[in-house]
Chain A
């Protein structure tokens, strides 16, 4: 007979660190971009502009 999984007792959970920094805050909030994303965007934008400089106002 299959035995039921044993779960740890709720009392053994470590308490949440109240001063821990959310990873979301590291990129300027939920909609901010990471440094890598910004670099990627600049590269894509440069490639687009390089192909068609006339679109620059």
Chain B
């Protein structure tokens, strides 16, 4: 194998050959480690990675009899460094938590292990999963951000270092990195995957999500993590042509020309393939939805981190301190009003989507910016994080500078399977095979 050329192997195919015993978890682990050795100096996707531990975990997986193996047997998963892990540090992207060891695994991590997978390593997160970037750079161009806050998870999958990873989203932390790195990033309906044991920035908004190279891989990983019966392991084939809404922009931000052209082109191709696509205007009563999210997010973060900030303000970034100060200054009544607005938004957008299978919209305002001091603008994700609707980003092309562009596909709460089926169909019509 040439470690400088990424493997075309996808998660569902790897699961199949591991289950048959045609390939060992150890061989897969060695492939991952070789790829990391060849690429990670420029990317730095990992907060904690111990090759000896990886090999031992892979050997342990290989020792399990074929007949008793779980649905993700032998699969190595990158885990964002805000998930508690009993056997690796959990530092939350902050110097305050350097060397911190959790007493037990987060529930999502425990489910991974029960399914036969193992934690390959902990991936870099922004500081407390907010905006201050970590060390990770974009695998397509190391001068560009990979997005955040699930920076390392997205970059590692994009670079072919692992086949799957998990992350979280409070505003745009799954979808934006997926778009910037050219992979599939899936954020299920809020609450579908338990958040227990994961650092909570905003308990009303935080959600666990999955990364893989394609929709099928992201769905498979989510199906194992989700409460039973909520997400199917394989996206269903469509029984009829799709009815889609096309929301080309959001009132609180501007989408750049290249991203709009790529999305318009994708819409044209999907129409030619048989989808009915209706262009939509953003509903005027919700032009402030991003501010509703901000009120809830920062007020809850300020409350949750109050004692840490009081003690450790100097070891927190100015960006985070300013956000927490803003959240603390928000009157309780404003926060409660924002929660009521959120409930209304869920009702309103559920009705808005009732006659459609899903929404097509930009996942980010453009390709990943050439800036390592920020993680880009999450504006295209705010509405769907506020409502807790399921969303997935898939790559559809590349900007002139070579960086990926994507489409975000969204559906109403609990329509995860329908959304994944739509996304898998769109992915088949808009093939994107490029890797960094």
Count of CB-CB pairs between chains A and B under 8 Å = 44
Whether A49 touches B13, Cβ cut-off 8 Å, given contacts A39-B26, A42-B23, is yes
Contact B31 A46 (CB under 8 A): yes
B84 to chain A, nearest CB (A): 32
In the complex, which residues of chain A have a beta carbon less than 8 angstroms from the beta carbon of B8?
50-53
Q: Does B22 contact A (CB under 8 A)?
A: yes
B433 to chain A, nearest CB (A): 11
Contact B26 A45 (CB under 8 A): no
In the complex, which residues of chain A have a beta carbon less than 8 angstroms from the beta carbon of B26?
39, 42
Instruction: Indicate the member of B7, B13, B23 with the most A CB atoms within 10 Å.
Output: B23
Contact A45 B23 (CB under 8 A): yes
Whether A42 touches B27, Cβ cut-off 8 Å, given contacts A50-B8, A51-B8, A53-B8, is yes
Interface size grouping (class) on chain B: 10 to 19
Contact B17 A39 (CB under 8 A): no
Contact B22 A50 (CB under 8 A): no
- Measured CA separation A39–B29 after assembly (Å): 12
Interface string of A36-57 (1 = CB under 8 A from B): 0011001101110111110011
Interface string of B1-33 (1 = CB under 8 A from A): 100000111100100110000111011101100
In the complex, which residues of chain A have a beta carbon less than 8 angstroms from the beta carbon of B10?
53
A39 to chain B, nearest CB (A): 7
Contact B7 A43 (CB under 8 A): no
- Contact residue among A38, A46, A52 (Cβ-Cβ distance under 8 Å from B28): A46
In the complex, which residues of chain B have a beta carbon less than 8 angstroms from the beta carbon of A45?
17, 22-23, 27
Contact B17 A56 (CB under 8 A): yes
Chain A interface mostly? helix
In the complex, which residues of chain A have a beta carbon less than 8 angstroms from the beta carbon of B27?
39, 42-43, 45-46
In the complex, which residues of chain B have a beta carbon less than 8 angstroms from the beta carbon of A57?
16
**B25: nearest residue on chain A (CB-CB)?**
A42
Interface string of A3-33 (1 = CB under 8 A from B): 0000000000000000000000000000000
In the complex, which residues of chain A have a beta carbon less than 8 angstroms from the beta carbon of B1?
43, 46-47, 50
- Measured CA separation A11–B10 after assembly (Å): 66
**A55: nearest residue on chain B (CB-CB)?**
B13
Contact A50 B9 (CB under 8 A): yes
Contact B13 A56 (CB under 8 A): yes
Contact A42 B24 (CB under 8 A): yes
In the complex, which residues of chain A have a beta carbon less than 8 angstroms from the beta carbon of B22?
42, 45, 49
In the complex, which residues of chain B have a beta carbon less than 8 angstroms from the beta carbon of A46?
1, 9, 17, 23, 27-28, 31
- Measured CA separation A50–B3 after assembly (Å): 11
Contact B30 A43 (CB under 8 A): yes
In the complex, which residues of chain A have a beta carbon less than 8 angstroms from the beta carbon of B24?
38-39, 42
**B9: nearest residue on chain A (CB-CB)?**
A50
B24 to chain A, nearest CB (A): 4
- Measured CA separation A54–B13 after assembly (Å): 9
Whether A49 touches B31, Cβ cut-off 8 Å, given contacts A42-B23, A42-B24, A42-B26, is no
Contact A53 B13 (CB under 8 A): yes
A40 to chain B, nearest CB (A): 9
- Measured CA separation A51–B8 after assembly (Å): 6
B7 to chain A, nearest CB (A): 4
In the complex, which residues of chain A have a beta carbon less than 8 angstroms from the beta carbon of B7?
50
B164 to chain A, nearest CB (A): 15
Q: List 11 A-B contacts (CB under 8 A).
A: A39-B26, A45-B27, A46-B9, A46-B27, A47-B1, A49-B9, A49-B17, A49-B22, A51-B8, A53-B10, A56-B17
Which residues of B are interface residues toward A (Cβ below 8 A)?
Answer: 1, 7-10, 13, 16-17, 22-24, 26-28, 30-31
Which residues of A are interface residues toward B (Cβ below 8 A)?
Answer: 38-39, 42-43, 45-47, 49-53, 56-57
In the A-B complex, the 7 residue pairs with the closest CB atoms:
A50-B7, A42-B27, A42-B24, A47-B1, A56-B13, A53-B13, A46-B27
